[in-house]
Chains A and B, each alone.
Chain A
C-alpha cells in the first residue's frame, strides 16, 4: 500500500530528524472535550502540564481538543504522528480503533489509549480503578446520610459506571443497612443543566447525599442551594465547593503515569502494557476529606484508603451476591479483573434494572 509506505518513510525520516536535532521528546494528547470542561479533559491536560513541569526543555507537548470519535480522531492522531510525536496519548474510549489503525502505520511511535481494551506492539492501554475511590465515598455516604437515601447521577450504562455504583453501594450498605440508592441515568458525561436537574430531582425525593459520575459541578451547586446535602467531587477536586457540600472527591490523577511513560520513551524502555492502577499508584486521588465529616468516619475512610492502596483490601471482597440473589463472590474471595472489566449487573440490594 502506497500510503502506508509513504507514512512509514515519513515517520522514519521524522524519527531520524528528531534524533539528529536534539533529544526533545514530543508528546501528543488527543482530547475528547475542551480543556476547559473542568472535569475529564481538564484533568488529562493537567497531566500534560505535569509532564512539561517535570521535563522542562526536554519535552515538547502538543494537544488537540474537541476531537470527535471516529474518522476525525484518526486524522488527528495521524497528524500528530506525522509531525514527529514520539508518544501519543488518546484519552477517550472511542479513540480505540483509530489509535490501533494509526499505530499500524507508525511502528516507531508509541501510543497510549485510555480506558480501552485493544493493545498492540506499540499501543499500551491505561485506565484507573475509580471504583476504589467509590468504596471510600460509599463509606462516608452511608455514615453521613440521615434520610438513608443516597442519590446517584450515572452517565451511561457501561461497566465503568456500573462498577462505581456497586462499589459505593456495597460500602454504604456495610455501615448503614437501611441505605437505599436512587439512580438517575443522565445519558451524558457532561451537561450542566441536565445534571443540575437530576440533582434537584434526587434531593426533592429525599436524597441527602449525591454521588455523581458526570463531570460538571452543577450537582454541587444544586446541593449547596438545597443546604443540607452532601456531595463528592468527580474527576477533579471541585474544591470550590469544599468544605461543604463537597466533603471529599475522586480525582483523576494522570500525572504520575504520563510522567512515567514519557520517561520510558526517553530512556528507550517503553514497552506495551496494560495498566489498571488505583489509589496505590496514585492514579486515583482522594481529595481532602473535609471537617464536616465526623472525625471517626474520616479516620475509617483514611484507613480504608491505606488498605486499598497497599492492596491488603479489595473493594469487591465477598460475600457478595448479584442482584437476583445468586452468589457472586464467596466469603473472602475478591473479584477478578476480567469480571470487573465487563461488569454489567448490580449487586444484591440495589433496586431497579441496568438499562440497555
Chain B
C-alpha cells in the first residue's frame, strides 16, 4: 500500500528536480505523439527545445523568448503574491486588456504630439487601468465577501467585449479605411515601447518584468509585507492573531497583481503588438496563472517557468513551420507538459511511503 505523507516543508531537492523530470517525461510522451503523427520525434523535440536556444537562427529567437516571456513573467509575479496569501485573482487577462486600453487611449489622445512625457503617462494609465479593474473583485470581496475567483473571471469577458467595442469605435484608427483597430504605436515614436538595446528583445516591459522579479524576491524574503503574505497563506488564523489586516492584504495583493497585468498589457500594445485590435489579447493572463504555479509561486521559479513556457511557444511555432506539425499538436504538447509538472509536484510536497495498511 502506497501512502502519502505531507512534508512539513516542500522538499528542496524535489522542487528543483521535478521540473527537469517533467520536461523529460513530456519529451518522451510528446515524442510518441509526434511519431504517431508521422513526424520524426527526435527532430521535433530538438526543434522545440534546442533550435530556439542554440540553433542556426538563435540570434533571433533568443530575444523573442524575452518578448514572449516578459508579459507572462510580469503578470505571474503579481498573481503569485496573491496566490501565496490565498487570494485568487484569475482575471489577469481582463486587467491586461484594461491596462492596454487605458494606456493606449492616453497615448492616442496625444497623437500626433511628440513629447518625452507621453510614454510615462501611458505607463501610468496602463498601471491604473489594470489596477482599477482588479479593484472591482477586491472591493466586492472585502465589502460583501463575494468570491474573487468568479468575479475576476467574469470581468475578463466584460473586458473582451469592451476591447471589441473600443477597436470598432472610440479607438479606431481614423485613417484605417474603416477597418477595426487603433493606430499603430510603432509609427508614433513618443508612444512606442522600443527596445532598450536594439536586437536584444529587451523592451521596457521585459525590463519591468525583471524589476518585478527582483522586488518580489526582496519583498517575500526581507519585508514584513512579504512575511504577512506568506503567513496568511500558510496559517490564516495565526496571521489574524498576529495583527495582519486581511482587508488591507486583499486590496494590496489584488491591486499589485492588477497593476502588473495592466502594465503588461500597456507594454504589449505599445510595443510588440503595436495596436488595439479585437484579437489583441492572446491569453497571456491565463497562461500566466499556469506560469505562476509552474514557478511554484517563487519569483525565480516564475522567471524560469515563464522562459520555459515561452520556449515551448516559440519552438512550437518553428516546429509548425519547418516540420508541418499542426498547431493543435503543439497545444497538446504544452498541455502534457503542464500535466506532468502538476502531477510531479506531488513529490515535492509529499513523501511517498510504502506502508502496511492501517499502520498510519
Contacts and interface: CB of A to CB of B under 8 A. Distances in A.
Partners in one complex: yes
Interface of A: 1-4, 6-7, 10, 28, 34-35, 62-66, 68-72, 74-76, 78-80, 82-83, 93-94, 97, 101, 117, 156-159, 162, 187, 341-344, 355-356
A119 to B, nearest CB: 14
A68 B322 CA distance: 18
A187 B57 CA distance: 39
B277 A94 contact: yes
B320 interface: yes
Contacts of B59: 6, 10
Interface in B296-326: 314, 317-318, 320-322, 324, 326
A83 B60 CA distance: 12
B272 A82 contact: no
3 closest A-B pairs (Cβ-Cβ)?
Answer: A71-B272, A3-B199, A70-B273
B72 interface: no
Nearest to B61: A79
Instruction: Output the residue of B57, B64, B177 with the most chain A CB within 10 A.
Output: B177
Given A10-B57, A83-B321, A71 B273 contact: yes
B266 to A, nearest CB: 14
Interface string B168-180: 1100100001111
Contact of B282 (A6, A70, A158): A70
Contacts of A101: 186
B108 to A, nearest CB: 15
A158 B282 CA distance: 22
B321 A156 contact: no
B345 interface: no
Given A70-B280, A75-B317, A2 B198 contact: yes
B164 interface: yes
Contact of A356 (B60, B169, B279, B282): B169
B272 A7 contact: no
Interface of B: 57, 59-60, 63-64, 67-68, 164, 168-169, 172, 177-181, 184, 186, 198-199, 268, 271-275, 277-280, 282, 314, 317-318, 320-322, 324, 326-328
A332 B212 CA distance: 66
A335 B324 CA distance: 44
A28 B321 CA distance: 8
Contacts of B274: 70-71, 97
A82 B317 CA distance: 13
A140 to B, nearest CB: 28
B282 A72 contact: yes
B201 to A, nearest CB: 9
B180 A75 contact: no
Contacts of A70: 272-275, 277, 279-280, 282
Contact of B279 (A68, A80, A83, A159): A68
Contact of B177 (A63, A75, A117, A187): A117
Contacts of A162: 178
7 contacts: A1-B199, A64-B321, A65-B326, A71-B274, A82-B60, A159-B178, A344-B178
Given A97-B186, A117-B177, A157-B168, A79 B321 contact: yes
A186 to B, nearest CB: 12
A82 B179 contact: no
B322 A62 contact: yes
